[in-house]
Structure 1
């Protein structure tokens, strides 16, 4: 009896050590766009000041003043942030690799760069070169964050607003194809980000009074997410196990923004979370721009550490930290659990009209 009690007392410790052993040594492979890019787009504004001013203290290719989602997930896994694919060498591959490239998507976007398919091509090539073994891939975490730039490109190029739902279906189907391909290469733990609330980014919210989220555009994100959640559910049923998980970026953004908005109302000296910390002086300028004399074409907020958005499209380090705090529980899915979601519904004509506002975006 006493022996059984001792074993029961030691069980929680055994469970903790088992979890720690599973996470320890895990590699992280990242695919997608600027929300998770840590330095692949060498020609981007993210390699100019004031990007990186908080961390690492100089521009590092991150689209923020400091850490982004990739950094926080790597920290959670107790590993160093995986190196950007562009910057890889034989000595810095032990934590995985980040293939994400700012401005890209699943299809052709407004920017040249490797889309998700090409990023997976690069990963597959490393496997063929025996840079990573079968066991490396099976024990690793895969993060996919993509799709936002595709909607921007659709709004700017196509402008057929009544075709948005058909486009949405094709986009999610393409994402499903790429997820299946990652799994076919041996991945057993794939995290796919839901889209954030599109109507809340400063580039969009600035058209409303007092920087408020435009819900009709948020509904585009919600509909996309609902469709993606169904695809993930069907895919896991097909595979017979929960290989693919979703990270609820949408509700994490919403929750963090609502909390900061409440604080702003109670204390007007705090920033409105929908205002960018690094703001262009006028239309056509962007964070990081300078003129031929070196004069800044942007302004900086006094306390970047209190902002939610760094520039017109990307969260600040504080913003990502707030979002990750909401996501941390979801990451327990590494060792079991299920996914989450958000509601959708067909878009009305008025909502399609609001979607046209995305034409203003040049990310």
Structure 2
């Protein structure tokens, strides 16, 4: 008996071939892998994860953005920041900053994070984390995102560093900082539970960076070493946060909340780069900043009334860990992201 063969029309064969080819190449065409990915990324926090919300800031001035995208674009770095790398891990484009939402598509999520902000109100007028979540909730109420959108989405939280700066400035002391840490973690716990209750089933929370290693601190050691006393503040913060996250996951009966060990990723990268610098002096000391202000009052990006630069740049930003007095360079973030990748697998599925 002769079997009847089902033959596709030529046009369908061509379309099928094109589709398969685009998927294999991993392009971002509408029929490629990117649009088949329903994951969206919603970001809350400060300058470590901000990709353009602080419109009136140095992040929109040269030389920020010189590595990527080649001009200032609102990132507190010479290039990509943590948000960009996590978005790439999720196989989506970097989500649109909330401040630019009316001029961009929102299919990859939204970034609510803004430089200078914190869990509480800090030294800037930017929206603290509670207000950022308020903005997210308003979009849900406006049906910009559906329940299905949120079910398959991820939230990234990167906040707390500015809270400690504000506390020290306002209190002129660190003697009561331990009790402040408990208050801060309690509010952060409320915030991440609220994000989950709004419909997001995977929430990634960054641990606090080793604040004693930031160039604005290590200037007292001539950038030769971190200040261990301040790193203890970060360690205590992270210990309490890890305990809180463990309790919340136990209550939820599943792994909703995932911590990203930024603290040890920073330290490990700095230690590796420091050893390399000691072996080869042409490599940068990771505790030195690439973009340094000319004098105490000037910072990276400052110019005088005549437009003359009041800052200096390192020769090779791609060899630096810190871009300015507090923010990693693209190279710094890439190395940190590489060490965080094993944890990111928990965000998928």
Q: Distance in 2 between matches of 1:39 and 1:161?
A: 32
In the alignment, what sits opposite 1:223?
236
C-alpha root-mean-square deviation of aligned residues, in Å? 1.5
Counterpart of 2:212 in structure 1 is: 199
Secondary structure at the residue paired with 2:249?
A: helix
TM-score for the superposition, normalised by structure 1:
0.85
Aligned to 1:161: 174
Tell me how far apart the structure 1 counterparts of residues 104 and 283 of structure 2 sit (CA, whole Å). 44
Match of 1:51 among 64, 72, 77: 64
Q: CA deviation at 1:110?
A: 0.9
The answer as to 2:319 corresponding to 1:302 is: no
Partner of 1:323: 336
Find the partner of 1:266 among 279, 284, 297. 279
Q: Contact (CA 8 Å) 2:322, 2:332: kept in 1 or not?
A: yes
Structure 2 residue 89 is the aligned partner of structure 1 residue 76: yes
Cα distance in 1 for partners of 2:119, 2:177 equals 16
Moved more, 158-167 or 279-288: 158-167
Match status 1:187 vs 2:200:
yes
Distance in 2 separating the partners of 1:276 and 1:120: 33
Q: Deviations over 1:19-68 (max 9, x none)?
A: x9999221000000000000000001100000001100110000000000
Q: Distance in 1 between matches of 2:74 and 2:280?
A: 33
- Give the distance between the partners of 1:292 and 1:147, measured in 2 at CA: 35
Which is greater in Rg?
2
The answer to whether the 8 Å contact 1:264/1:272 transfers is yes
Name the structure 1 match of 2:117: 104
Structure 1: gaps of 5 or more residues: 1-19, 337-363
Match of 1:87 among 87, 94, 100: 100
Question: Greater relative contact order (Cα 8 A, min sep 6): structure 1 or 2?
Answer: 1
* Displacement over 3 Å in runs of 4+: 20-23
Note if 1:137 corresponds to 2:150. yes
Q: Partners in 2 of 1:203 and 1:90 — Cα distance?
A: 36
Partner of 2:52: 39
Residue number in structure 2 paired with 1:118: 131
Q: After superposition, give the CA deviation of every residue in 1:237-269 in whole Å (9 maximum; x if it has no partner).
A: 111111001000001001111110010000011
Q: CA deviation at 1:108?
A: 1.4
Native 8 Å contact 1:23 1:77 kept in 2: no
Q: In the alignment, which residue of structure 1 is the partner of 2:40?
A: 27
The answer to whether the aligner puts 1:233 opposite 2:285 as a matched pair is no
**Closer, same or farther in 2 for the Cα pair 1:90/1:258, shift >3 Å?**
same
Give the aligned partner of residue 30 of structure 2.
none
Q: What is the TM-score normalised by the length of structure 2? A: 0.89
Cα shift at 1:211 = 2.9
SS at match of 1:191: strand
